[in-house]
Amino acid sequence: MPISVPIAENASLNAPAPHLRDIRTTTLPNGLLVLTERMPHLRSVAMGVWIDCGSRDESPAVNGISHFIEHMVFKGTTNRSAQQFAREVDAIGGNLDAFTGKETICFNLKVLDDNVPAALDLLTDLVLHPTFSPDDIAKEQGVILEEIKMDEDNPDYLVHELFTQNFWPNDALGRPILGTAKTVSSFDQQIVLAEYARRFTPANMVFTAAGNLHHEEFVEQVAAAFASLSASSSDKIAHPNPPQTNPHITLKNKKSLEQVQFCLAVPAPPVASPTRYAAYLLNSILGGGMSSRLFQSIREDRGLVYSIYSELNPFRDTGTLAVYAGCAVSNVEQVLALTLAELTRIKQQPVTAEELDRAKNQSKGNMVLGLETSGSRMSSLARQQMYWGRFFSLDEITAEIDRVTPADIQRLANELFHPDLLALTLLGNLGSLKLTRAHLTC
**Residue 173, φ and ψ in degrees, nearest 5:** -65, -25
Nearest to 103 by CA among 163, 201, 172: 172
- Secondary structure class of 148 (helix, strand, coil): helix
Q: Are 7 and 223 in contact (CB under 8 A)?
A: yes
Catalytic positions are: 70
Task: Report in angstroms the alpha-carbon separations of 310 from 132, 177, 285, 405.
Answer: 40, 22, 9, 21
Question: What is the Cα gyration radius of the chain?
Answer: 24
Q: Which residues of 193-210 are buried (b: 16+ CB within 10 A; e: fewer)?
A: eebbeebbbbbbbbbbbb
Beta bridge partners, 257, equal none
Question: If you count DSSP H runs as helices and E runs as strands, how many of each does the chain have, helices first?
Answer: 15, 12
| 22 burial type by CB count under 10 A (0-12 exposed, 13-18 middle, 19+ buried) | middle
Q: Are 47 and 225 in contact (CB under 8 A)?
A: no
Amino acid, res. 360: K
Question: How far is 15 from 19, CA to CA, in rounded Å?
Answer: 11
Amino acid, res. 274: P
State the DSSP code for 81: B
